[in-house]
Amino acid sequence: MSVREENLNVTLAELLAEKGLKALGEVILRKKGARPEPDVLIELNGVRIVLEGKKPGMWDTLVANCQDRLDNNMCDLCVMVEYADYKVKKLLPNQADVKESLLRSQFNIGFLSYIDRAGLDKWTGIPSKPEQYKDVGFDDLLTYLMSAYSRVVSVDIIDPVIKKMNEVLGDFAVEMSIAVNVERLKDVLELKETEEKEDGK
């Protein structure tokens, strides 16, 4: 028997909640003009994480969905989960069987963060490419999720930007000091006349 994607997403949210994460499946977020519906919403120490889950063969859709979630400021980190090797052994499974099957399943997973979508890689030096891991179990999924979360909260995006700005401004100041005619600049700013008056006192 085939199980709907929505059921898998809700069950995955339950499993994550059992591990101590504040996770909720198939959420409808109220926003002006739209009703975004992330598959799983996780809040971890103030960081909003969206998990998008799809059956096999939908990886490109997962990437596009995550990019959309980040571009619309729905989350700080987006997790892509492809149910790569999910099988229910019973002919007529119940919800407990679905949960047990997910715990034994293999997933293809990936991560995108706001740093990837904001183009901050040119400032931070961190390459903007979705992380991807294949054929991982549930416990490994949780480990990778916590690792990606740690990287998002630990990346310093301010200092590299300030450093780069200082470099650009420094280069600009040097170029200007070479190119500018100081006497002409004084004339334009009417400083020469003021200096002459002061000298004549």
Specify the pLDDT at position 117: 74
Q: What is the pLDDT of residue 153?
A: 76
pLDDT number for residue 191 = 60
pLDDT of residue 24: 86
CA distances from 131 to 70, 128, 147, 148, 190 (A): 15, 9, 11, 9, 59
Pick the CATH number of 5-155 from 3.40.1350, 3.30.750, 3.30.1490, 3.40.50: 3.40.1350
Tens digits of residue pLDDT in 59-90? 999 999 998 998 888 899 999 999 988 888 77
Asked whether the CA dihedral 88, 92, 98, 100 is positive or negative, the reply is negative
The fraction of the chain above a pLDDT of 90, given in percent, is 34
Given a cut of 60, whether residue 192 has pLDDT beyond it is no
34/17 Cα distance (integer angstroms): 27
Work out the mean pLDDT of the chain and round it to a whole number: 79
- Residue 45 carries which DSSP code? T
74: helix, strand or coil? coil
Contacts of 61 (CB under 8 A, 6+ apart): 54
Q: What is the mean pLDDT of residues 39-47?
A: 89
Over 80: is that where the pLDDT of 39 sits? yes
CA torsion, points 136, 68, 50, 44, in degrees to nearest 10?
120
Does pLDDT of 56 surpass 70? yes
Q: Which of 21-30, 36-45, 134-143 has the highest mean pLDDT?
A: 134-143
Instruction: Spell out the domain ranges in the chain.
Output: 5-155, 159-199
Structure tokens at 63: 């990437």
Section 12-18 average pLDDT: 93
